[in-house]
Amino acid sequence: MKRVLYVGLDYHQNSVQVCVMSAEGKMLLNRPCRNDVRAIWEAVEEFDSDEIRAALEACCGSADLAEEISQRRGWSVCLAHPGYVSRMKHTPDKTDWSDARLLADLVRVGYIPRVWLAPEAVRELRRVVHYRQTLVDARRNVKLRIGGLLREQRIASPQKISRWTLGWLEWLATSAPLSPEGRWVMDRYLEEFEDAKRKVAVCEKHLEKIVADDRLVGRLMEQKGIGLITACVMRAEIGQFDRFRNGKQLSHFVGLSPRNASSGERQADAGLIKGCNRMLRAVMVEAAHRLMRYEKKWSDLAGRLRSRGKPVPVVVAAVGNRWLRWLWHQMHEQPQPVSQAA
């Protein structure tokens, strides 16, 4: 008879709590070891087995460990959703010992709430996309500080020049009637702003190089209103469209589906789902605005919703929701790997 061992790994930066459980639910081992594949393997190999199934909670670094164990040792490893695992504990107490035991038991009974383990290439793309977002956030913060300084000194922008255009920035650098110290601070802000712009441009050029041979990114960019950055964010965060059973599940993952709040005879929605990737949803909302502007099918849908008295945020979310469901049917059959270009 095939002997299967079930392993729960409670992950930490420097150590991993390893719990080994038999098919009957008997705990064979539960102790900490170094955060190293060899150390974890040595803790488990003393028990005879034909197959090892392991689980660890998704967190920073856990995907790399899971993939390394799977490739080097041949274990069947899955990532568990930390939020759902936490709800299953039903106890205010928390220890590494009990966490590892729970993971081992959940994988034993087949009740692990799984998180998709993205391939290494997708994770690499995700790192660059997230880095770009930090640069964009820094640029936005500088713009907010510049606006705050102008309000503080009660300086109005020229009416004939749009804000953040080249002409407006030139006015800000040369002609804005700032106080002496205000001028000194503004010059520093403008240096930060130009530096942030340059870094964002460098990052976007690198992103273009990474996905140059990615056919899925190319197909996304063929859609109206979808440019390089939107396509890269979708590729990094969604990964493969075929990992979703249908378009509704994809929209649910992105956070553009209404949350169901029904009970008994009461059928109702309760706004958008909160537990989602905020950066991905923001990108999809921006895409929905462009779709409403440039493509008749979606502008007509938006018009019908507005005629029924729906507010603009609801209209935008509805367009994004419908578009994602439509997109799933176009994309899910042909997932393509991310280019390994440096």
Output phi, psi for 192, to 5 deg: -60, -40
Amino acid symbol at 231: A
Pairing of strands 4-11, 51-57: parallel
Q: Which residue has the higher pLDDT, 128 or 89?
A: 128
Q: Which residue has the higher pLDDT, 256 or 334?
A: 256
Confidence band (pLDDT; 50, 70, 90) for 342?
very low
User: CA dist 221 to 44, 104, 187, 208, 281, Å?
Assistant: 47, 43, 38, 12, 18
Select from 268, 238, 230, 243 the least CA-distant residue to 255.
238
- What confidence tens digit (pLDDT) does each residue in 164-210 have? 999 999 999 999 999 999 999 999 999 999 999 999 999 999 999 99
For 185-330, list the strands marked E by DSSP. Answer: 258-260, 269-272
Question: Mean pLDDT of all residues in the chain?
Answer: 89
Question: How far, in Å, CA of 231 to CA of 240, rounded?
Answer: 12
CB 133 within 8 A of CB 279: yes
HSE toward the beta carbon, residue 41, CA cutoff 13 A: 14
Select from 231, 252, 253 the least CA-distant residue to 331.
231
Question: How far, in Å, CA of 254 to CA of 279, rounded?
Answer: 9
Query: Residue 341: what pLDDT?
Result: 42
Query: Residue 109: what pLDDT?
Result: 93
Question: How far, in Å, CA of 280 to CA of 4, rounded?
Answer: 39
Query: Residue 228: what pLDDT?
Result: 94
- What confidence tens digit (pLDDT) does each residue in 42-91 have? 999 889 888 999 999 999 889 999 999 998 888 999 999 988 888 887 77
| Angle, CA of 128, 132 and 134, to the nearest 5° | 120
Indicate the DSSP class of residue 308: T
Q: Which residues of 125-143 are buried (b: 16+ CB within 10 A; e: fewer)?
A: bbebbeebbebbebbeebb
- What confidence tens digit (pLDDT) does each residue in 300-333 have? 999 999 999 989 988 999 999 999 999 999 887 6
Q: Which residue has the higher pLDDT, 152 or 259?
A: 152
- What confidence tens digit (pLDDT) does each residue in 227-278 have? 999 999 999 999 999 899 999 999 989 988 877 766 666 665 667 777 778 8
**Helix residue ranges per DSSP H, the chain:** 37-44, 62-73, 82-89, 96-109, 120-152, 166-174, 180-210, 215-221, 228-238, 247-254, 278-294, 296-307, 312-331
pLDDT at 20 over 50: yes
Question: How far, in Å, CA of 249 to CA of 104, rounded?
Answer: 28
